Chains A and B, each alone.
Chain A
Amino acid sequence: MKRTIFWMLILTVSFSFVEFFPKDAEAIPTFARKYQTSCSTCHIAMPKRNAFGDAFRRLGYRIPGGDETYVKEKPVSLGAEAWKKMWPETIWPGVLPATVPISFYGHQRFIWTEDANAKTTFDAPHELEMLIGGNWGEKISFFGEWLLYEKAFADDRDKLGDLFVQFNDLLGNRPGMLNLKFGKFETGASHGFKDDNRLTPSHPMPYDYTVTGGGTDKSLRTKQAGLELNGIIKSWFEYAFGIVNGNGTTDDNNSDKDLFYRVAYKFGGMGFDGSGGESPEQLVMKDNWRDDSITVGTFGYFGYPSNKSTPDENYRRLGVDLRFQYDRIDLGGAVVFGKDEVVGGKDIKSSSFFVDAQYLFYPWLLGNVRYEAKEFDSTQEDINAVVANVTILQRANLRWNVEYNHYIEDSDGNDTVKANLMFAF
């Protein structure tokens, strides 16, 4: 009987495997309200974006080809644009969003865990987040994410996911060519590619794994405080590099900073800056999920966690990624190689990879299978796993999904099935 109830719940709810999904949800209804457009203009299934949504993010939350013409909520003027002619005799004019740019994201889930004391658990609410985002005029953007509720995060600093301001178009009128991000954010080494555009609530291992006994307990996707320069050159080449504290949410304990980079090139499809694309009016309710293209990238992160009282235990992560999109198929993968210095011991070498296949059956029904692994030349356990996910969009802002996480070796962990209901408003 219990088993029957369990499977009924699975069938009626929907599932997934969730670690810290909310940490990069950028499906933010604030933008939907601002432009009076559907979430599906930018998202295939939140947080996975289509090419247009990616361009929107890269340009600092501006619609490619003239953002202002699409803004339906007339912003509050902090000075008519013509005041620019009076500078430096006056403050440079700007705008405030017409409404407070706040959205919320909720996540409920039901979990089944193999060989656990409590095999079934209702984890509802799993979390509640407040999201903010918008622009102060054309050249300045902001984004923030505050976890209002999640059991796993007790510290307020952990609850603040992102809070950054991005200064756009530092090279004059070339949109997105050079931008400066300042604040707390996921570094460009991992942000913006498959991790950010996954269908699964769980993160692919290469971006998520940590090394035990090395200089850091931070994963590649950890939010960091610092500066990032990013941009797009001639539509098809993108770059990001920057400098961050390296300590994640905690205060830095040394003067050495961590460095990171990512460069990528896209062949075909819509340009990183939205060039060659269709207008938002054309995109809504059309095949806006299609972006036949190949994207290749390489990234790196160099950690310098030294301080005066402890010896250096520097570490690095170097990786390459690849994404192939054709019609309804979205294939991707990445491999990361790590090296962590250990004081008085042997360096720990690690590697992790994933390959991922997604298929869009209908715009409201998507499937996803991923194989992933992480290996260490230390006593840390190697892990191989398969993740399968089915996503159903009941509405553009209401998503169900079922995710099954299977470990190849029983000793690597308990298999789990998680049903998730995610919504944003």
Chain B
Amino acid sequence: MQISRTAIYIVCWVIALTFFAVTNSLSAFADESGTIKGVVETPWVKRYEALVYIENVKGTEFPPPKENPFMSQKSLVFKPYILPIVKGTTVDFTNNDDVSHNIFSPPGSAKRFNLGIYGVGVTRTVTFDGLGEVTLLCNVHSEMSGFIIVLQNPYFALTDKKGNFEIKNVPAGTYKLKIWHEKLKDASQEVVVEAGKTASVEFKKNELKSR
């Protein structure tokens, strides 16, 4: 059977158009995200980091990570001091000290739990299924404290000592950008993220009130 020349032309055109469409759509997909960059202007950031996060990305469910993040207890200190996670994440509480700990969350926390006393090298886990702030305390060592912040999405960043932050790969859109800080009341700003661009945000000192 002989394939007509016209048919070959048509097939070639279909393949070429399909290839063009696919590559074009892929590159468009890659460019649909942008970056949010900014600063939180408060002297508090020298001592305590601020968490900057997008409050809600509509229409998307963000699965928890496959590997559990950890909240270590080492030298009578929670490490990290602030752990932002996505809702549904299970966190490993590992005692890396030479003494026992009893980690719990006080009233007002988004997740109440009490791990009981556990010894050196032991890991206990907690799944955080509600949004918000979870304060961590140790019943054995009253000076210890830490925070887990449960968020709806993975678009967040902690500030450096100068208050600078950067959130990458944010889908293009308009969002409410919020900050959480243990010493400050929540503050928010609307931010427009455009594909392939960087949006700048400033949380000014006079907008930030003490808790």
Docked-complex contact A86 and B144, CB < 8 angstroms: no
* Residues A79 and B142 in contact in the complex (CB < 8 Å), given A69-B47, A86-B107: yes
- Does residue A345 face the partner (Cβ distance < 8 Å to B)? no
Interface size class of B (residues with CB under 8 A): 10 to 19
Asked if A80 meets B145 with Cβ closer than 8 Å, knowing A86-B106, A173-B210, the reply is yes
Chain A residue numbers with a CB within 8 Å of B46 are: 69
Cβ of B70 under 8 Å from chain A: no
Shortest Cβ gap from B16 to chain A (Å):
63
- 25 CB contacts below 8 A, A to B, read A66-B210, A68-B183, A69-B44, A69-B46, A76-B143, A78-B142, A78-B143, A79-B142, A80-B144, A81-B145, A82-B106, A82-B135, A82-B137, A82-B145, A83-B106, A83-B137, A83-B142, A83-B145, A85-B106, A85-B108, A85-B135, A86-B107, A90-B142, A93-B142, A279-B43
Q: How far is the CA of A357 from the CA of B190 in the complex (A)?
A: 55
**Inter-chain contact B143/A80, CB cutoff 8 Å:** yes
A86 to B183, CA, bound (A): 18
**Closest chain B residue, CB of each to CB of A93:** B142
Give every chain A residue within 8 A of B183 (Cβ-Cβ).
Answer: 68
A295 to chain B, nearest CB (A): 27
Q: Is the interface of A mostly helix, strand, loop or mixed?
A: mixed
Determine whether A70 belongs to the interface, using a CB cutoff of 8 Å to chain B: yes
Say how far B80's CB is from chain A's closest CB, in angstroms.
15
CB of A171, distance to nearest CB on chain B (Å): 15
B contact residues around A78 at 8 Å (CB): 142-143
Contact flags B179-201 to A (C-beta < 8 A → 1, else 0): 00011000000000000000000
B residues whose Cβ falls under 8 Å from a Cβ of A: 43-44, 46-47, 106-108, 135-137, 142-145, 182-183, 210
If A82-B137, A86-B137 touch, whether A70 touches B142 (CB-CB below 8 Å) is no
Measured CB to CB, the residues of A under 8 A from B are 66, 68-70, 76-83, 85-86, 90, 93, 173, 279
Measured CB to CB, the nearest residue on chain B to A81 is B145
B209 — nearest CB in chain A belongs to which residue? A173
Residue in chain A with minimal CB distance to B43? A69
Q: What is the chain A residue whose CB lies nearest that of B137?
A: A82
Q: Give the docked Cα–Cα distance between A70 and B144 (Å).
A: 21
Contact A80 B43 (CB under 8 A): no
B47, B142, B144 interface centre (most CB from chain A within 10 Å): B142
Is there contact, CB below 8 Å, between A80 and B142? yes
A79 to B145, CA, bound (A): 9
Bound complex: CA A279 to CA B44 (Å): 13
Task: Give every chain A residue within 8 A of B107 (Cβ-Cβ).
Answer: 85-86
Closest 8 CB pairs of A and B: A80-B145, A77-B143, A85-B106, A69-B43, A79-B142, A82-B135, A82-B145, A86-B106
A70 touches B43 (CB 8 A): yes
- B43 contacts A66, C-beta separation under 8 Å: yes
CA of A90 to CA of B183, assembled, Å: 21
Q: In the complex, what residues of B have CB within 8 A of residue A90's CB?
A: 142
> What's the Cα separation between A82 and B136 when bound, in Å?
8
Whole-angstrom CA separation of A173 from B106 in the bound complex: 23
Q: Whose C-beta in chain B lies nearest to the C-beta of A173?
A: B210
Shortest CB-to-CB span from A87 to chain B, Å, is 10
A283: shortest Cβ distance to chain B, in Å? Answer: 14
User: In the complex, A332 Cα to B146 Cα: how many Å?
Assistant: 52
Tell which of B44, B47, B137, B210 touches A80, judged by Cβ atoms closer than 8 Å: B137
Q: What is the CA–CA distance of A173 and B108 in the complex, to the nearest angstrom? A: 20
Question: How far, in Å, is B182 (CB) from chain A's closest CB?
Answer: 8
Whole-angstrom CA separation of A86 from B138 in the bound complex: 12
Enumerate chain A residues within 8 angstroms of B44, measured Cβ to Cβ: 66, 69
With a cutoff of 8 Å between Cβ atoms, the chain B residues found around residue A82 in the complex are 106, 135-137, 145
Smallest beta-carbon distance B133→chain A, Å = 10
With a cutoff of 8 Å between Cβ atoms, the chain B residues found around residue A79 in the complex are: 142-143
Query: Given contacts A66-B43, A85-B135, A173-B210, could you give 14 more A-B pairs where the C-beta distance is less than 8 Å?
Result: A66-B44, A66-B210, A68-B183, A69-B46, A76-B143, A77-B143, A79-B142, A82-B135, A83-B106, A83-B142, A85-B106, A85-B107, A85-B108, A86-B137
Closest residue of A by beta carbon distance from B109:
A85
Shortest CB distance B52–A (Å): 19
Question: Which chain B positions have C-beta within 8 A of A66?
Answer: 43-44, 210
